[in-house]
Amino acid sequence: MMFTKKKPDALQQREALLGGVPVKNALVKTTLRSNGMARLSAPLQRSWLARKLGSDADEKTFELDDLGTFCWQQIDNRRTVETLITAFAEHHKLNLREAEVSVLAFLKLLVQRNLVAIVAPKAKSD
């Protein structure tokens, strides 16, 4: 068809992100501490300079607060980003926009640190 409407790119990207599924890195170990907070441990990829200088660190650890711990525990490699946002909003009694901003910022941080990856939803076949 010649005159079909196309969605703007930003809207398509947002829909793809919300439909994406966060998947935990299999190498990340989770330890639940006595105070209920989670500690994540991931293998450290040392640079050539760190290896040359003899750095002993084998892993990097991340301490999560109660909000981060809740989000981390909700990631089950099946739920979409949108369902994580909804669960976060309900649990913390926030409106959806506040929850979306918080969860997306947290997921961005996890992705940057290679603790999770966001798997894109399957494309709809026409």
Residue 83 belongs to a domain with what CATH number?
A: 1.10.10.1150
Task: Please give, one letter per residue, the 3-state secondary structure of the chain.
Answer: CCCCCCCCHHHHHHHHHHHCEEEECCCCEEEECCCCCEEEEEECCCCHHHHHHCCCCCEEEEECCHHHHHHHHHCCCCCCHHHHHHHHHHHHCCCHHHHHHHHHHHHHHHHHCCCEEEECCCCCCC
Can you tell me the mean pLDDT for 20-42? 95
Can you tell me the mean pLDDT for 64-90? 97
Evaluate whether residue 15 is within a structural domain.
no
Evaluate whether residue 121 is within a structural domain.
no
Evaluate whether residue 84 is within a structural domain.
yes
Evaluate whether residue 109 is within a structural domain.
yes
User: For residue range 46-75, what is the model confidence (pLDDT) as tens digits?
Assistant: 777 766 676 666 889 999 999 999 999 999
Q: Are 116 and 110 in contact (CB under 8 A)?
A: yes
Mean pLDDT (the chain, rounded): 88
Evaluate whether residue 17 is within a structural domain.
no
pLDDT of residue 6: 58
Number of domains in the chain: 1
Query: For residue 98, what are the domain limits?
Result: 22-115
pTM over 0.85: no
pLDDT of residue 83: 97
Q: Are 39 and 33 in contact (CB under 8 A)?
A: yes
User: For residue range 116-126, what is the model confidence (pLDDT) as tens digits?
Assistant: 999 987 766 55
